[in-house]
Structure 1
């Protein structure tokens, strides 16, 4: 019986898996091309003061888990003290055995605090104090963590309206103390598509005018203003756009129909569902063309139905842990990719699928639009994401890609993280991946060839992403 839960063989079930992880994967640099980390925190080099600030303050994964174990909202998003929230998290953890939050929390305790106790109500105060003391150390400042984790590139997620002031400081080396990690913005385009609410859209348009020094009087003006913002992002090293929508609806319209609908929006009138689809389709197309022209990749997160619990949304606001997986087909997405491919302006694409039942469908879609005009593996089946970001979900994603695509060209995982310590999830993925490779070897699915296995691990954990994004 192992002395610790997080020990050298964690998630590694045989000697080949141990060797692949410890001799190859563990030392590779990290490229995290999708996170929700804050450039301001990195510039100011100020981290969380305690584990509640690190884990519980902003992360709806934790909130959802605590609700599922009967914790009162007062101790989740309410006015309870930081320690009270942490102690109630410790009450929840023993009920989460096998959940990725159980894995991640104990992995972070081991890696960043040399703490090997299992979280539970009995030792909550002892763990709290030990970790709080260590967080006060310079070793836990953001830049030190990035250096020690060997993070080569980290992409944040930023509104088109972001001032990008902290990315500007990073890009122009105006910091006291050098930072070796590339901290790059990502153009998060969701707000551009708010055509379902004319009031919300008008407020966004006015802000976009200010940030782009533009006047928006027609749809072409709108696209021109977006291009200006993308240019500002590009100058600061951005090479990615990002978009998360429940479905991709494709409905072509004439130029006159698009402009007529857009003018109604500018006049504060609501659009019909069909008119929304027409304007969204044109905006999708224009955004894809701009990504292609800038040489960017775009990430499409598909399959979320947000805020389905209307009462809790009204009480707590959006994005507080009440989203679900939806079950829409990929036909609209296929039509969008086809329209861009026909004009030879389809950008490099990463498709994130939230519904695991659709994994094969998405891998098949990727294969239909591969093209060597820009890079190998131009259309990527993205890493297991959100509700799939667990051991079985990662294994399922890898297995489907092995069976139907080109596993060796996969660009690897992202953390989708909200605190810097969650970058240790790259270790989590690498352990699961190395173990899965070793099991395929044992089953005879792939050769027991050390050079081939090393090549595959190096590519998927680092080299493929480095080449694909060309940061």
Structure 2
């Protein structure tokens, strides 16, 4: 059955509502390379350099956006994360797509089909078989590295645990024949989970990776130092943090934290305040190390995770049952950044909020700690997760314009596990160009195409080049 008859939905001027928008996009944004400074791509798959072969594996596996859409459409879990065949799962997604109209999934789906497979037909049950066959024919000869090159992705920064041996990042660099530079990111979440029973096992794992027995706080910090140095040697220029929880900065002493750490190693239960003391200390300690190495620190703040425990038990973590939380964040950011800034050890930082009600909170907080170290040192990050769609992007761009300097913004990222997600940069660029063009039409900014074009090129590409120091 055909629900939607229109073809060529993704035209050259998709989302561009005026001639000025068309000029800004096609002249200044369209052909720029991509720097994707935060994603969850597999370095192993890039290093192995094998053809992708099947669209379901590269497009649906791990994509909790699509999983949530299918669940909302009443699709059985076996067709989402379960035992159904690859084609059956693809068909169920195709069946769902017409029902995603006005959800960003509809735009992303058609944009990705157009850019990677030159498909104009709307994906739905009646077109699924032909699109599945065409996409797999293309993917038979496409490796992940080639898919990245096709989208002109110059840099991807993966998300990596401190214990990772970075084996595949090394292989990619040693091969030296990839268009895309693949760099690790130091994702420190597990270091903070002192409240979990698995923490002691993780400490042992960290010790093995650092070739150091961790039996004291001092050795724990030595292990962290060694891992940060190791990551830096292998091209890392960013850290990340993304625990979904209420966060507090409290007073602590080194002696007190040392006793708390010892208490945990003895498998004794910690109080809430002891956990906060430990975390507060670690936030500051890591922040100073990031400054020492001239890294950019990232903070993804605001999700409430694993809400549906029944599905979590069935599927595992990252099951697609996370949502927007309502944690207070201003005091945490203020105390952390002020502590680091007071000793001139505040590294560049990007903070992302998941709760849109905190847009102005985040935008104004980052403005408190700007300095002459570099333009836009403290960044309020792009619309993240549930907010990385047209409405969320426009709200983020407008609030940033009102509270800071849009012209110094480092732009978009995918935050994706899919090698087919990079048209999201195009989506952002079109939204940006249309927004600026509307300001011109409404007489809010000068009709100076060269000036505005330079601003757009900076936001889409050049600001990121200047900000991240990938060449160092």
How does the TM-score come out when normalised to structure 1?
Answer: 0.96
How many matched pairs?
464
**Conserved? CA contact 2:249–2:336, under 8 Å:** yes
Q: How many angstroms apart in 2 are the aligned matches of 1:152 and 1:80?
A: 36
Query: 1:21-60, aligned counterparts within 5 Å?
Result: 21-60=25-64
Q: How many angstroms apart in 2 are the aligned matches of 1:409 and 1:327?
A: 29
Give the SS at the match of 1:420.
Answer: coil
Give the SS at the match of 1:65.
Answer: helix
Matched, 1:211 2:209: yes
Match of 1:331 in 2: 331
For residue 172 of structure 2, the aligned residue among 167, 170, 173 is: 170
Q: How many angstroms apart in 1 are the aligned matches of 2:334 and 2:403?
A: 17
Match of 2:157 in 1: 155
**Conserved? CA contact 2:39–2:157, under 8 Å:** yes
Q: How many angstroms apart in 2 are the aligned matches of 1:349 and 1:46?
A: 36
Q: How many angstroms apart in 1 are the aligned matches of 2:53 and 2:379?
A: 38
- Judge which range, 271-280 or 256-265, deviates more: 256-265
Match of 1:184 in 2: 183
Match of 2:252 in 1: 253
**Conserved? CA contact 1:41–1:47, under 8 Å:** no
Match of 1:79 in 2: 83
Match of 2:418 in 1: 419
Give the SS at the match of 1:207.
Answer: helix
The CA deviation at 1:47 is 4.2
Query: 1:58-457, aligned counterparts within 5 Å?
Result: 58-137=62-141, 140-171=142-173, 173-174=174-175, 178-197=177-196, 199-246=197-244, 247-329=246-328, 330-373=330-373, 375-457=374-456
The CA deviation at 1:221 is 1.6
**Conserved? CA contact 1:55–1:62, under 8 Å:** no
**Conserved? CA contact 2:46–2:172, under 8 Å:** no
The CA deviation at 1:333 is 1.6
- Judge which range, 162-171 or 65-74, deviates more: 162-171
In structure 2, relative to structure 1, the CA distance for the partners of 1:278 and 1:111 (3 Å cut) is same
Q: How many angstroms apart in 1 are the aligned matches of 2:438 and 2:221?
A: 50
For residues 193-215 of structure 1, give each alpha carbon's deviation from its aligned partner in whole angstroms, at most 9, with x where no partner exists: 11111x31001000000000112
Q: How many angstroms apart in 1 are the aligned matches of 2:340 and 2:96?
A: 48
The CA deviation at 1:315 is 2.2
Query: Runs of 4 or more off by more than 4 Å in structure 1?
Result: none
Q: How many angstroms apart in 2 are the aligned matches of 1:46 and 1:265?
A: 44
Q: How many angstroms apart in 2 are the aligned matches of 1:325 and 1:2?
A: 35
In structure 2, relative to structure 1, the CA distance for the partners of 1:3 and 1:306 (3 Å cut) is closer
Unaligned runs of 5+ in 1: none
Unaligned runs of 5+ in 2: none
The CA deviation at 1:417 is 1.5
The CA deviation at 1:151 is 1.5
How does the TM-score come out when normalised to structure 2?
Answer: 0.96
Q: How many angstroms apart in 2 are the aligned matches of 1:96 and 1:249?
A: 38
In structure 2, relative to structure 1, the CA distance for the partners of 1:47 and 1:424 (3 Å cut) is farther
Q: How many angstroms apart in 1 are the aligned matches of 2:43 and 2:385?
A: 22
**Conserved? CA contact 2:186–2:238, under 8 Å:** yes
Q: How many angstroms apart in 1 are the aligned matches of 2:85 and 2:104?
A: 26
